[in-house]
Amino acid sequence: MAPAILPTWSQAQAVDPKTFEAQVNNGIRLINEWKFLKQGDDGLWQKQSLTLSDIKYDVIKSESALRPLVGTIQAKIISLFSARHPNRTQAELESFIEDAPDLPGGKNTYTLEYDIQFEPSNSSWIFFKGKARTSIQLMVGSYNWIDLPAAEMREKGGMHGHIVRAFATPVIQKKKHRSQS
């Protein structure tokens, strides 16, 4: 997700629990709208998409003087892979999930779990720490969470970075212009 250039008449909201909720809802929208098309070594195209299956979020008071408020998110997101197609357009339009008999449920999907935290800044809530795990890890018997380094999540971090950045995207409000009479 590339950063956008904001018009000069845009302004971020003041940071409070309501703006965290707005930022989380914006992240939910960005995650549910995300689609990725890739061409495999076999020349076939496949679409990957995300859907949020469960989320809990809150703003809590912490005992830290540096972070008196912390925004928390616990989320489960399902990554879905479509059937493969010989051309990009067919893959883009596909809604059927690829069969995968070796996976639980028999479909080419996996679940990503997140426990992430945000701190307020001047104009938005910024990711500062978190952890994640996937259903693939659980299938091979690894129940360990992996830490999500803040610097890596802000710049790259693969799928985890994309999801963290979706939740970290501030909601921009347009300034109201007064009409001149």
Read off the pLDDT of residues 45-87 as tens digits, 9 standing for 90 and up.
Answer: 999 999 999 999 999 998 888 888 999 999 999 999 999 999 9
**Phi/psi of residue 38, each to 5°?**
-140, 150
| pLDDT at residue 43 greater than cutoff 90 | yes
Kindly provide the b/e burial profile for residues 122-150, where b requires at least 16 CB atoms within 10 angstroms of the residue's own CB. eebbbbbebebbbbebeeeeeeeeeebeb
> Mean pLDDT, to the nearest integer, of 83-97?
92
CA–CA dist 23, 52 (Å, integer): 15
| pLDDT at residue 103 greater than cutoff 90 | no
pLDDT number for residue 106? 78
Domain boundaries, the chain: 14-170
Looking at the chain, list the stretches that DSSP marks H as alpha helix, in order from N- to C-terminal side: 17-33, 88-93, 135-139, 150-155, 158-167
| pLDDT at residue 34 greater than cutoff 90 | yes
Instruction: Specify the pTM.
Output: 0.80
Longest Cα–Cα distance of the chain, Å, equals: 70
The owner of tokens 């129940």 is: 143
Bridge partners (DSSP) of residue 50 are 79
